[in-house]
Amino acid sequence: MVRRRQAVTIKHVAADAGVSLQTVSRVINKEPNVRPQMQERVQASIDKLGYVPSRAAQRMSGSRSYLILALNDRERTIADWRARQGSDWVDQMLLGGMLKCAEYGYRMMFELVDTHNDHVERELSAAITALQPDGVILTPPHSDNPLIVNLLDKHNIPFARIGSAGWAVGIPLTMGDEQAGKDATQHLIDLGHEKVAFISGPDEYILSSWRRAGWQCAMGNAGLAIDGLIANGDFSFESGRIAAEQLLGKTDRPTAILASNDQMAMACLEVAREKGLVVPDDLSVVSFDNTPIVALTDPPLTAVDQPIAETTSRAVELIIAAKNGNRTPDGPIIVPAGFVERGSTAAPPRG
């Protein structure tokens, strides 16, 4: 007869470490106010005995679910998927969020929610009831949707708001969009461009106004006029085409364009080719996002590199800290964007 090995329980860990069950539980749950020496002692016993905490049992206790729910815009995400364009935003969120969750013994789940739906509260309430998440990550435009924000605050669920300046609730995080817009514009000004146009994103995304403000600031600081140098888009390729046609159809056309996302920037490349303009000899183009495809365009696009994975990772850390009773920062957390220079920018044409 083969005897089954007895399962290691929290009681075995407590006995081996010479501490109470409550102390072991606090260490396992990464709760605050546990002395480092005590954490090390308990962790040593956990490692020695091969104890694996039962997340299922902890969920049943009602204290935690060890789930963080990330919400993204349904309409835009599905449209990208159906167009076979994928969504680098989603990929990078999963990369940063899932890896950081794993460090803390959490899991991240991804849900698509239509922020324009009148039933968004009912839809989100159903997800919260079913999953009982320990925290929620909101992405634009959900980050500033009062229905969603107020619902999460009412349920007393820690939540991070990516791409939001924040109100009085939640944990706001930004990727330094205004500074990124300023730096990208300055890059073009330093190359000698005086007519730098800007294609804005939709107003429902507050980051659109931040990027526009960065462009305006850089142009103003350089003493350059912006009249007639702005066009509006909605982040789609087609809207980028329309905006580029508007800007490049002028007699006194711009010599450079900063577009608020990759799709609109790629549309600028297409319109420029159709008009017989060579990028970057006749026109420089800079994009926001830096999704993988912009390195494969002709020429490869110079782009603002959004730190989506890093921002999501930071959001996870802050949510877990809030769940553990730690105070979160008062102001918005800024995870600075990067900048990748490629072949789509050069000095303006002479004459």
| HEC sequence for 241-271 | HHHHHHHHCCCCCCCEEEECCHHHHHHHHHH
Is 343 a member of any domain? no
Asked if residue 4 belongs to a domain, the reply is: no
Alpha helices in 104-172 (DSSP H): 120-131, 146-154
Residue 188 shares a structural domain with residue 155: no
CB 139 within 8 A of CB 72: yes
Residue 99 falls inside a structural domain: yes
Q: What is the number of structural domains in the chain?
A: 3
Helix H or strand E encompassing 56: helix 55-60
Examine the domain organization and report whether 211 and 145 are in the same domain. Answer: no
Residue 341 within a domain? no
Residue 63 DSSP one-character state: S
Q: Are residues 288 and 322 in the same domain?
A: no
What residue type is assigned to position 72 of the chain? N
What gap in Å lies between CA 47 and CA 199, rounded to an integer?
Answer: 55
Among residues 195, 191, 189, which one has the least CA distance to residue 253? 195
Say whether both 73 and 101 belong to one domain.
Answer: yes
Question: Which of 194, 268, 206 lies closest to 231, judged by CA?
Answer: 268
- ∠ Cα 128 310 53 (to 5°): 55
Does residue 111 fall inside a structural domain? yes
Q: Is the domain of 191 the same as that of 299?
A: yes
Measured distance CA(245)–CA(311) in Å, rounded:
34
Token pair of 88 as six digits: 């680098």
Residue 214 shares a structural domain with residue 265: yes
In a domain, 206, yes or no: yes
- Do 118 and 236 belong together in one domain? no
The first and second tokens of residue 306, run together, are 């959004």
CA distance 243 to 259: 10
- Cα angle value 163/185/338 (rounded, 5°): 50
Amino acid sitting at position 316: V
Task: Residue 324: give the domain boundaries.
Answer: 67-175+307-336
pLDDT of amino acid 213: 97
- For the stretch 267-308, pLDDT in tens is 999 999 999 999 999 999 999 999 988 999 999 999 999 999
Determine, yes or no, domain membership for 135: yes
CATH of the domain at 168: 3.40.50.2300
Provide the CATH number for the domain around residue 45: 1.10.260.40
Residue 181 shares a structural domain with residue 301 = yes
pLDDT (0 to 100) of residue 101 = 92
| Residues 318, 278 share a domain | no
Q: Are residues 297 and 182 in the same domain?
A: yes
Cβ-based neighbours of 55, under 8 Å, separated by 6 or more: 66, 105
3-class DSSP state for residue 69?
A: strand
Residue type present at position 94: L
199 and 269 fall within a common domain: yes
CA dist 146 and 261 (Å) reads 25
- Report the pLDDT value the prediction gives residue 266, as an integer from 0 to 100: 96
Note the pLDDT of residue 104. 85
| Integer Cα distance of 257 and 30 in angstroms | 49
In a domain, 351, yes or no: no
Same domain, 294 and 228: yes
Classified as helix, coil or strand, 339 is strand
Residue 311 has which token pair? 């921002």
Which positions of the chain have pLDDT values less than 70? 1-6, 30-32, 53-63, 85-87, 167, 351
Angle ∠(101,103,104) on CA atoms, nearest 5? 70
* pTM (predicted TM-score): 0.79
